[in-house]
Amino acid sequence: MNTYRTRSIIVLTLTAAMGITAPGCSSPDSTGSTAGPGAGKEKLRVSCTTDIVKDLVQQIGGKHLAITAIMDGPAIDPHLYTPSPQDINILTDSDVVIYSGLHLEAQFEDALESLRHRGIPTIKVTDVLEKEFSDQLLQANGVVDPHVWFDLELWGQCGIWLAEQLAEFDAAHASDYRAAAVEFQQLMKTTRENGETALSGIPEERRILITAHDAFQYFARTFNFRVEAIQGLSTESEPGLKRINELSDVLVEMKISAIFTEQSVSDRNILALISECESHGHELTVGGILYSDTAGPAGTAEETLAGAVMHNIREIAKGLGAQPSGQETP
C-alpha cells in the first residue's frame, strides 16, 4: 500500500511551496526497502504557509527539499490572509504541506482540511507542543497564543519533531534531518543567550513592551518583559477607545517613552495611542519596527527567525534605553 499518499500528518507551516505536484507512489529499492518520494534525485516539494515556517523547514530540510511559502514577505498578516485560487493550486500540487497551526493561519483551515480529505499530507509544526509541551503554551481568554516561535526553546523542539516527520517521507536523508535539527536547537539557544546579553542593560522598571497586537507574550516570558498590546492575539480583533486610554495611563504612570510598531500590522492604532499620550502632556515615540508574525525580506539577515529575533532585540534595546552588546546575529 502507498503509505505516502494516504498518510496525513497535521503540521503547521508558515510557508507554501510553488510548483509542487501530487504525491507519487513508493517503490521497493534493490535492498527490498520502500523508498519515499524524497529518496530519488528529485527533491521533495514542500509548501509552507508562512515565511517563519519556511525558515524552520529550510533549516531542517536544507538541500533535500524544494521549499516555497504562500505568505512570504514582511508585510503579510497571516491572521487575515485568505488563500487565493492560485494558492490553493500550489498547495494541491505539493508533496507535503507544512503549516504553523494553533489557528495562526485561520483563513487556511478549510483548505487544509480539504487537502487532508484528498490524501495530501499536511504537517502542523506545533503538533508536538500540543502533545508534549501543552503546559508551556500560553493562553488569552481561553485561546492558545500561536506566536510560539518567540519561545526559542519550544521552537527548537518543533525543529526536532519536524525532522522526524520529514524522515518518514524521505528515509534516505533521515540522518541529515536529525543532525540539522540538533544544530537548529543550538542556534535557538545561542540566539537566546545573545538576546539576554543585549537586553541586560534595560532596568526592571523599564521592561514594558507596548506593541500593536499581542504577539510577544512568549518573547516576554523568554526575556523577562511585561507586554501590553493594543489588539489581542489576532489582528482581527479591534481595540476600543477604552483600551487606548488604559495604555495611555500605563505609559504616563511608568514614564515609558517608546512603543513599537510591527512590520505586518498597520500603525493606525499606535499613532492613536501616541496622540492620546500627547493630550496628557506625555511625549511618546516609536522605538522601532518589530517582526511579529513574519520574518524579514529575502536576502537579509532578518529573513531567518534568528535574524528577525535579534533585529527585534536591537530595536527594543535601543528604544528602551539599553546599549546593544555588539553581539551579532547567529
Query: What is the per-residue pLDDT for 228?
Result: 86
Q: State the cell numbers at 200.
A: 541586560
Higher-confidence position of 104 and 286: 104
* Tally of domains in the chain: 2
DSSP, res 223: H
Residue 324 lies in a domain: no
Residue 104: domain span: 3-192
172 and 226 share a domain?
Answer: no
228 and 128 share a domain?
Answer: no
- Dump pLDDT digits (tens) for 145-154: 999 999 999 9
Q: How far is CA 191 from the centre of its chain?
A: 15
Residue 157 lies in a domain: yes
Residue 28 lies in a domain: yes
Query: What is the per-residue pLDDT for 66?
Result: 96
Residue type, 138: L
116 and 48 share a domain?
Answer: yes
Residue 328 lies in a domain: no
**Helix crossing, 174-199 with 152-169: angle to 10°?**
170
- For all residues of the chain together, what is the average pLDDT? 83
| Residue 73 in this model has a pLDDT that exceeds 50 | yes
Residue 105 and residue 126 in contact, taking contact as beta carbons nearer than 8 Å: no
Q: How sure is the predictor about 136, in pLDDT bands with cuts at 50, 70 and 90?
A: very high
- Dump pLDDT digits (tens) for 257-307: 888 888 867 778 888 888 888 888 888 888 889 999 999 999 999 999 999
Residue type, 172: A
Q: Which of 165, 192, 219 is the last residue in one of the domains?
A: 192
| Residue 239 in this model has a pLDDT that exceeds 70 | no
- The torsion of the CA quartet 130, 135, 140, 143, rounded to 10 degrees, works out to 30
Q: How sure is the predictor about 206, in pLDDT bands with cuts at 50, 70 and 90?
A: confident
Higher-confidence position of 124 and 276: 124
Residues 188-204 have a mean pLDDT of 96
51 and 155 share a domain?
Answer: yes
Where residue 262 sits, what CATH number does that domain have?
3.40.50.1980
Residue 95 and residue 123 in contact, taking contact as beta carbons nearer than 8 Å: no
- Dump pLDDT digits (tens) for 14-67: 333 333 333 333 333 333 333 444 445 589 999 999 999 999 999 999 889 999
Query: What is the per-residue pLDDT for 85?
Result: 96
Query: What is the per-residue pLDDT for 123?
Result: 97
Q: Which of 192, 214, 231 is the last residue in one of the domains?
A: 192
170 and 207 share a domain?
Answer: no
Residues 214-235 have a mean pLDDT of 85
Q: Which of 144, 162, 192 is the last residue in one of the domains?
A: 192
R_g of the chain, CA atoms, integer Å? 21
76 and 156 share a domain?
Answer: yes
- The torsion of the CA quartet 11, 17, 20, 25, rounded to 10 degrees, works out to -30
Q: What is the 3-state secondary structure (H, E, C) of the chain?
A: CCHHHHCCCCEEEECCCCCCCCCCCCEECCCCCEECCCCCCCCEEEEEEEHHHHHHHHHHHHHHEEEEEEECCCCCCCCCCCCCHHHHHHHHCCCEEEEECCCCCHHHHHHHHHHHHCCCCEEECCHHHHHHCHHHCCEECCEECCCHHHCHHHHHHHHHHHHHHHHHHCHHHHHHHHHHHHHHHHHHHHHHHHHHHHHCCCCHHHCEEEEEECCCHHHHHHHCCEEEEEECCCCCCCCCHHHHHHHHHHHHHHCCCEEEEECCCCCHHHHHHHHHHHHCCCCCEEEEEECCCCCCCCCCHHHCHHHHHHHHHHHHHHHCCCCCCCCCCC
Whether this model's pTM surpasses 0.75: yes
167 and 216 share a domain?
Answer: no
CA 288 – CA 306 distance, rounded (Å): 18
Phi, psi of 237 (to 5 degrees): -75, 145
Residue 325 lies in a domain: no
Residues 227-237 have a mean pLDDT of 68
Higher-confidence position of 163 and 242: 163
State percent of the chain over pLDDT 90. 58
